[in-house]
Amino acid sequence: MVHCYVLEQFTWLNSIFLKPLKNILIMFNFVFIIFLTVFSLLSTIYLYKENYKKNVFDSNTFKIEGDKSEVFQRIKESSRLHGWILIESSNDDYLRYKIPFSMFFWGGIVKVFLISKINQIEINFQKRPIFIKSKIQDSILEKHVAEVLEDISIGKI
């Protein structure tokens, strides 16, 4: 008899506390999923609005006048100030950088080639996003390169 009494108390407890709690949790999950969907939609709109630009550069090649080693050092300093990580370097001709990830950018690799011509140095940038190749990632990567170019005062070809 005692055992049945305990079961009856449990069903009473279940009907009063657990069922409403279960319904509240279901509603909370539903509201949370709606919140995540709205947040995802708003962040996607922000990404396209703020970061998507068509072809920041017409060309990946830029010219500057001056000494090749001096330009090489200015590129190294400017890229270090912008948080780029130098992966590889060789004889004032070639630099390879990793650009770290940020909130909406998953990182990228930038190769910089310096070609010496008569009284001019030609700088060629090759850019590649690390994880996903998309227009947004490409335009963010181009913004990073544009910031470095502004620092070293290079005019486009």
Provide the pLDDT for residue 54: 60
pLDDT tens digits for 41-91? 888 777 767 666 665 566 777 787 778 888 888 888 888 888 888 888 887
The structural domains of the chain, with segments of one domain joined by +, span 61-156
Q: Please state, in angstroms and rounded to a whole number, the distance separating the CA atoms of residues 10 and 4.
A: 10
Provide the pLDDT for residue 115: 84
Q: Please state, in angstroms and rounded to a whole number, the distance separating the CA atoms of residues 112 and 62.
A: 11
Strands of 61-64's sheet in order across: 85-90, 94-99, 108-117, 120-129, 61-64, 155-156
Q: What is the DSSP letter of 60?
A: S
Query: Looking at the DSSP assignment, which residues form a beta bridge with residue 111?
Result: 96, 126
pLDDT band at 13 (very low <50, low <70, confident <90, very high): low
Amino acid at 3: H
- 61-156 — its CATH code? 3.30.310.80
Q: Please state, in angstroms and rounded to a whole number, the distance separating the CA atoms of residues 78 and 86.
A: 12
Q: Please state, in angstroms and rounded to a whole number, the distance separating the CA atoms of residues 124 and 96.
A: 12
